[in-house]
């Protein structure tokens, strides 16, 4: 029997488990992962609607990895997804120009943006996150360089960003996360940095010790994690100081999520196509 793998972030060690979960073999790539308050795991599949046959865009697993459900055949190009604290699932349907809102059971509840309407307001959006007060932030994205801000009911509240390399400018804002104190973290992927902003968009600081960061996600006590294309997973203090670093996946995780109940960190890989789980030891 081959030995298992162990990685560390600071003093915390993790057992590497991969491939993890009863995931179906479909034409889609495993693009993102998120957990709900009960620990259920939502796995985002990305397909090309022009050539791939219809298949579920979201697969739901138990915390033990058993397949519970699969839904979302209407998703055109699921890029990233996030589970709202109330259990709704927000899927960023990138090439359809919409953030689609689903019930946890897969029924469509609504959406933000104009479906198949580029520029109204999205242009190939990437990610969505929620502030503690319910404000919604969308990183937009591949053909835009902007962070949009919405009220909890989806009413537009402006935003910020423009193409460039200066503070508040972006080259592919690929992921967004909001910290418990309201700080907005944005993976400015092709500028190889993570930028931090106030809730209204004022620049606070940047982390440049990352290479094409793919996803940012909150950790315990106001810390945060960043996965990049080195590939590696980095753990930062709330002010951007490096706390730990490891290489838990083969070619870099496109998405990730930390289950606050267990401390398990999930990593979604596109090459090879699988889910990796880091279990605290």
Q: What total number of domains does the chain contain?
A: 1
Give a three-class secondary structure readout of 188-237: EHHHCEEEEECCCCCEEEEECCCCCCCEEEECHHHCEEEEECCCEEEEEC
Answer for the pair 117, 124: CB distance below 8 angstroms, yes or no.
no
Closest CA to 232 of 219, 217, 251, 259: 251
Identify the three-state secondary structure at position 174.
Answer: strand
> Could you tell me if 43 and 275 are in contact, meaning their C-beta atoms sit under 8 angstroms apart?
yes
pLDDT reported for residue 150: 98
Beta bridge partners of 247: none
Which range of residues forms the domain containing residue 245? Answer: 5-280
The CATH number of residue 239's host domain is 2.120.10.30
pLDDT at site 132: 97
Query: How far is Cα 131 from Cα 68, in angstroms, rounded to an integer?
Result: 29
pLDDT of 2: 76
Amino acid 141: pLDDT: 85
What pLDDT shows up at residue 1? 62
Average pLDDT per 10 consecutive residues for the chain, totaling 281 residues? 88 97 91 97 94 93 97 95 97 97 97 97 98 98 96 97 98 98 98 98 98 98 97 97 96 96 96 96 97
The structure's pTM equals 0.96
Residue 179 phi/psi, 5-degree rounding, is -80, 165
Structure tokens at 279: 């279990």
Quote the CA–CA distance of 139 and 170 in Å, as a whole number: 10
What is the percentage of the chain residues whose pLDDT exceeds 90? Answer: 93
Residue 172 · residue 141 · CB < 8 Å: yes
Among 117, 116, 112, 114, CA closest to 102: 112
pLDDT computed for residue 27 by the predictor: 81
User: Which token pair is 82?
Assistant: 């996030």
């Amino acid at each position: 029997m081959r030995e298992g793998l162990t990685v560390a972030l600071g003093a915390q060690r993790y057992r590497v488990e991969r491939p993890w979960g009863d995931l179906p073999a479909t034409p889609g790539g495993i693009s993102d992962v998120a957990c709900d308050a009960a620990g259920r795991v939502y796995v985002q599949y990305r397909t090309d609607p022009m050539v791939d046959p219809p298949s579920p865009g979201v697969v739901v697993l138990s915390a033990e990895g058993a397949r519970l459900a699969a839904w979302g055949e209407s998703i055109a190009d699921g890029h990233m997804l996030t589970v709202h604290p109330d259990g709704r699932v927000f899927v960023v349907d990138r090439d359809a120009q919409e953030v689609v809102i689903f019930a946890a059971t897969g029924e469509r509840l609504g959406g933000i943006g104009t479906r198949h309407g580029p520029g109204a307001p999205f242009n190939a959006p990437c990610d969505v996150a929620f502030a503690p007060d319910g404000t919604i932030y969308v990183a937009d994205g591949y053909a835009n360089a902007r962070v949009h801000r919405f009220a909890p009911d989806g009413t537009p509240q402006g935003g910020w960003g423009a193409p460039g390399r200066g503070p508040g400018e972006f080259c592919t804002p690929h992921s967004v996360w909001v910290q418990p104190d309201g700080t907005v973290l944005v993976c400015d992927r092709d500028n190889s940095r993570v930028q931090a902003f106030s809730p209204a968009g004022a620049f606070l600081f940047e982390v440049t010790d990352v290479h094409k960061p793919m996803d940012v996600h909150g950790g315990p006590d106001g810390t945060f994690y960043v996965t990049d294309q080195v590939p590696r997973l980095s753990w930062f203090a709330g002010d951007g100081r490096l706390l730990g670093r490891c290489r838990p996946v083969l070619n870099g995780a496109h998405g990730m999520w930390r289950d606050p109940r267990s401390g398990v960190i999930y990593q979604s890989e596109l090459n090879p196509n699988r889910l990796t789980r880091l279990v605290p030891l």
